[in-house]
Amino acid sequence: MLLFYASTIASIIITILIVFYVLDRKRCCRTPLFIDWPLFGMSPQLLCNLSQFHEFLANVLNSKGGTAQFMGPWFSNMNFLLTTDPMNAHHVFSKNYENYVKGPEFREVFDVFGDAIIVTDDSKKWKYLKSFFLSIIKHKDFDIFFEKTIQSKVHDALLPMLDHAWLHGSVLDLQDVFCRFTFDNITSLVFGFDPKSLSLGFPIVEAEKAFDEIEKCLFYRQMVPKALWKFQEWLQVGKEKKMAKARKVFDDFLCAQIASKLEEQSRSKKTKDEALRFESFLAEATRYKSRDAKFLRDAGFNLFAAGRDTIASLLTWFFWLVATHPLVEAKILEEIKEIFGANDGENYRILGIEDVKKLVYLHGALCEVLRLFPPIPFERKKPIKDDILPSRHIVNSNSNIVFSIYGMGRSEEIWGNDCLEFKPERWISEKGGIVHVPSYKFISFNAGPRICLGKDMTFIQTKIVISAILQKYSIRVVEDSSEVTPSLSIILLMKHGLKKPSSIDAASCASTAGVNPNFKAKLADEDVFPGKTIEIELPEVNVAAIG
């Protein structure tokens, strides 16, 4: 009898606690993103649309006025305020930026980054790291080294790879090509060493594949309760087992390069002029700042994160959008021809830094790609003290604010009724210059004091690559049954890549993306697009998503 009363009382207490918990969730969540289900919270709707995660979330957020709250499973502490409101971005990134940090939860998820500039919340350390990287970028020989590294990689690896594909009609995944290109390029910039992953036969480079796996695991960590991924990490099962293996492979790669460079410098006997010459980021870091292995490892990892897949993502989405909008390609080629004249045959040359700065229309096209397909689709912040956002949402030190950069690029409030159209002209002024858009509306490079230090380098590198390719090749798009879907990773790459399949009817290709039925023929016509034609796959896509 006593046991019965005890169990009854316990049941009543548990019921009361659950009721209070549910009421508290409703009190805290005044603008719900979805229905808040018992136990599972709002996760079911998100999981059911995981295959279209970015598009689905952007559409829902914009339909809710730009800001809404997401409540995760009960007791998971996965509660977020999601927003696409540009005034919220201006408040958090600029006006009141000192009150907003990445937060300890973010650093725990992204622990593989170490304690470097991308994840640190220590303002003094961040300022030191910023000045350190700026001192390297502003080195008198850096531009020469940067330009030579990119041009050499384009000339010696990228163009021969495309030539080989054209001559043999072989299958070519442009996304894989660009990932390998940027991996080799950032390795050369950071370490002064080319791993030659972009070579005929596409050799497997373990460090490159490990980096891909790390990015996927970091996305997974943000999608599940902390207790779950921590438990998997402890047991070394599932995604966390893959994470541990990939992390070891990439750390071994970094540490081997660092050790090799340190040993090389200790043995080197250079003249004064040779010693001052720029050789790599690592060489400059060890020469003037630090020989601490952890500092160099963390700095190296952060540079890879900033300069590898972000650039590959931009290039991949650019060629897909331009290939499905032939008039844009024609205007880019026209601009190059007007400024530099005929640049083919014996006159062909790879453009340099000062050359590509003159390409205004190409710059506008790249901005448009970044707007529609930002390489980093989300940005996360946490307030130190209680605050009220311009959207009138109250946030406290336990709040997590997530900005959907992908959603902001598809917001009618910011970009107008044609926000879903690929329209480089929106970035060109009447006088022919680039239209200035406030960084809090276009935050692909972050905003405020923490704006990306490599912004100019990104535009320069991609312009050199794009101009080199478009002057020699016409990218032809054909259809396949799979969909163009962003991968579930912290970087917005294509899930199925950008490949060349077997031959297909030109009309069916055109019907998929609203392209002229004669598009395939025109791209192959030497009179319209002089140069060689390379086919890539155009998976099925929602017309509204690209205009």
Percentage above 90 pLDDT, the chain: 40
Locus of tokens 């009309």: 507
Between the CA of residue 444 and those of 133, 347, 534, what are the distances in Å? 20, 36, 30
> Which segments of 50-128 are extended strands (E)?
67-71, 79-83, 100-101
Mention every residue, 6+ apart, whose C-beta is less than 8 A from residue 316: 174, 175, 178, 493, 494, 498
Between CA 115 and CA 95 the distance in angstroms is 25
Secondary structure letter of residue 384 according to DSSP = S
Quote the mean pLDDT of the chain. Answer: 81
Cα 231 versus chain centre, distance: 28
Using DSSP, state whether 510 is helix, strand or coil.
helix
Backbone angles phi, psi at 165, to 5 degrees: -65, -40
Residue 335 pLDDT level (bands cut at 50, 70, 90): very high
Of 148, 161, 215, 207, give the one whose Cα is nearest residue 461.
148
Helix (H) / strand (E) containing 388? strand 387-388
Helix (H) / strand (E) containing 459? helix 455-470
Provide the whole-model pTM. 0.85
Token pair belonging to 403? 């900005």
| pLDDT tens digit sequence for 162-206 | 988 888 877 688 899 999 999 999 999 888 888 999 998 888 889
Pairing of strands 67-71, 79-83: antiparallel
pLDDT score at 360: 96
pLDDT score at 273: 45
pLDDT score at 186: 92
First to last CA, the chain: 71
| pLDDT tens digit sequence for 428-452 | 998 889 999 999 999 999 888 888 8
Between CA 77 and CA 89 the distance in angstroms is 23
Domain spanning 132-382+389-536: CATH 2.60.40.10: no
Type of residue at 195: P
Cα 143 versus chain centre, distance: 24
pLDDT score at 19: 64
Domain extent listing, the chain: 2-118+383-388, 132-382+389-536
Secondary structure letter of residue 436 according to DSSP = P
